[in-house]
Amino acid sequence: MDLSYSEKDEAFRAEVRAFLAEKLPKELSEKVRLSQDLEKSDMEFWHAQLNARGWLAANWPKSFGGAEWSAVERNIFEEECAMADAPRIVPFGLSMLAPVLQKFGSKAQQDHWLPRILNGDDWWCQGYSEPGAGSDLASLKTRAVLEGDHYIVNGQKTWTTLGQHANMIFCLVRTDTTAKAQEGISFLLIDMNTPGIEVRPITLIDGGAEVNEVWFTDVKVPVENLVGEENKGWTYAKYLLTHERTNIAGVGSSRAGLAAVKRIAKKVQARGRPLIENPHFAARMAQVEIDLMAMATTNLRIVSKAAAGQAPGVESSLLKIKGTQIRQEITDLARRAVGPHAMPFASDALDASNTPLPDPYDAGEVAGPYFNNRKLAIFGGSNEIQREIYSKHMMRGAK
């Protein structure tokens, strides 16, 4: 065992830092630090910066022009980006759809869609969940019927993250209603501008507009937009989900979150002293920091087992559970730290005059993210579903 970073790793870290210092504008990182809403153009800007540097496809296999970073390199990159308050990279095209196309797509699909993902020509969203099909995804009902050289799609998807920005959606649809639930599902790529598609926003608990309902009425989808074989979509969907879980531990964002809590706790006064010196608050912070130290190592242990460009195995369930617990604990610390100042609601302007809210600790919104981050344990396979997956794995010998 060797717990130290190699010289090469350290050089890479320095390279990432230099890149962030040069390319990440202060206004953008401030928005991220203060948990303000990002514009579509903010996210596109950052995507383009990374692409220009060749760091967007870093996790793609070399055969597709990727860099095949090692787990350690990936980790360094994520950590540095999070600590610098870089916007998150919208994952739907880059790290969800792309691996599916690379493994199961036709040559024509790969040639057409993969470069467009890198160039930011398409904004993809994920059309898996439906009102009646969340954890039980295989029960999905959105129907696709082949008529000539088109599928006709009818149904509804929901919780579609950033669907309001998307021009493309990859969907799980039912193409065989007679087969077993998992065996009648296909994987379709659908242009959001096709007639018959309607996107309606869902406002979340913190007032944010990040998810949507997407309705399909007689939507015509060319048959060449089917990925792989008809009725094999479940296999591709599951493959995609393992990639969705690659960075699930969120170590970088926890580190950044904890650093932010410390900054706040130094500014907040409690009984004439900085809150960071208060034994109860200090104990809460130390507890999370200890957990995070161990979890960062668990994360490296697990992800480095997976070959470069590959997703980790069933252990990613363990990472998701602990990772989200820690991230959520940190948002809880932040709201505690600011005391009564957690109450002012930042999404509304002060006195409707667009003046910013009082923010004496330069903390940005803290209660909003506390509530918003409840989602971490719900999406991407809820933490209960992760426990189901892992317990089945552990009990596989039991009768």
Ligand X SMILES: Cc1cc2nc3c(=O)[nH]c(=O)nc-3n(C[C@H](O)[C@H](O)[C@H](O)COP(=O)(O)OP(=O)(O)OC[C@H]3O[C@@H](n4cnc5c(N)ncnc54)[C@H](O)[C@@H]3O)c2cc1C
CA 283 to chain centre: 30
Q: Do residues 302 and 295 make contact, with C-beta atoms less than 8 angstroms apart?
A: no
CB atoms under 10 Å from CB of 149, counted, come to: 9
Hey, which residues between 240 and 269 contact another protein (CB under 8 A)?
A: 268-269
* Binds another protein by CB under 8 A, chosen from 348, 362, 392, 393: 348
**How far is 226 from 157, CA to CA, in rounded Å?**
18
Question: What's the Cα-to-Cα distance from 272 to each of 106, 161, 284, rounded to whole Å?
Answer: 66, 44, 20
Q: Which residue has the tokens 């809820």?
A: 382
Q: How far is the CB of 264 from ligand X (least distance, A)?
A: 25
* Binds another protein by CB under 8 A, chosen from 309, 368, 369, 381: 368
Question: Using the rule CB under 8 A, is 55 a contact of another protein?
Answer: no
* Binds another protein by CB under 8 A, chosen from 110, 278, 298, 304: 278
Q: How far is the CB of 115 from another protein (least distance, A)?
A: 33
The site partner of 128 among another protein, ligand X, none (C-beta below 5 to 8 Å per kind) is ligand X
Q: Give the β-pairing of 226-227 and 269-270.
A: unpaired
The site partner of 160 among another protein, ligand X, none (C-beta below 5 to 8 Å per kind) is ligand X
Hey, which residues between 327 and 386 contact ligand X (CB under 6 A)?
A: 375, 378-379, 382, 384-385
Question: Using the rule CB under 6 A, is 75 a contact of ligand X?
Answer: no
**How far is 84 from 252, CA to CA, in rounded Å?**
10
**How far is 399 from 17, CA to CA, in rounded Å?**
53
Question: What's the Cα-to-Cα distance from 338 to each of 190, 226, 318, rounded to whole Å?
Answer: 45, 51, 31
**How far is 129 from 379, CA to CA, in rounded Å?**
10
By beta-carbon proximity to ligand X, the closer residue of 163 and 184 is 163
By beta-carbon proximity to ligand X, the closer residue of 10 and 37 is 37
Size of the site for ligand X (CB under 6 A): 18
Q: Do residues 202 and 375 make contact, with C-beta atoms less than 8 angstroms apart?
A: no
Q: Do residues 51 and 120 make contact, with C-beta atoms less than 8 angstroms apart?
A: yes
* Binds another protein by CB under 8 A, chosen from 26, 358, 397, 399: 358
Q: Give the β-pairing of 150-157 and 185-191.
A: unpaired
Hey, which residues between 378 and 397 contact another protein (CB under 8 A)?
A: 378-379, 382-384, 387-388
* Binds ligand X by CB under 6 A, chosen from 9, 34, 42, 134: 134
Q: Give the β-pairing of 168-174 and 124-127.
A: parallel
SS3 151: strand
The site partner of 126 among ligand X, another protein, none (C-beta below 5 to 8 Å per kind) is ligand X
The site partner of 161 among another protein, ligand X, none (C-beta below 5 to 8 Å per kind) is ligand X
Tell me the backbone φ, ψ of residue 151, rounded to 5 degrees.
-90, 140
**How far is 320 from 328, CA to CA, in rounded Å?**
12
Looking at residue 350, the DSSP 8-state letter turns out to be B
Hey, which residues between 117 and 146 contact another protein (CB under 8 A)?
A: 129, 132, 134-136, 139
Listed ranges 119-127, 214-222, 314-322, 368-376: which one lies at the site for another protein (CB under 8 A): 368-376
* Binds ligand X by CB under 6 A, chosen from 6, 106, 119, 135: 135
CA atoms within 13 A on the CB side of 197: 24
Stated length of the chain: 399
Which tokens sit at 160?
A: 């579609």
Beta bridge partner(s), residue 125: 169
* Binds another protein by CB under 8 A, chosen from 32, 377, 381, 386: 377
Question: Using the rule CB under 6 A, is 129 a contact of ligand X?
Answer: yes
Hey, which residues between 198 and 237 contact ligand X (CB under 6 A)?
A: 211
Binding site for ligand X (CB under 6 A): 125-129, 134-135, 159-161, 211, 375, 378-379, 382, 384-385, 388
Binding site for another protein (CB under 8 A): 129, 132, 134-136, 139, 158-159, 202-205, 207, 211, 268-272, 275, 278, 280-281, 284, 328, 332, 335-336, 339-345, 348, 350-351, 355, 357-358, 360, 367-368, 370-372, 374-375, 377-379, 382-384, 387-388
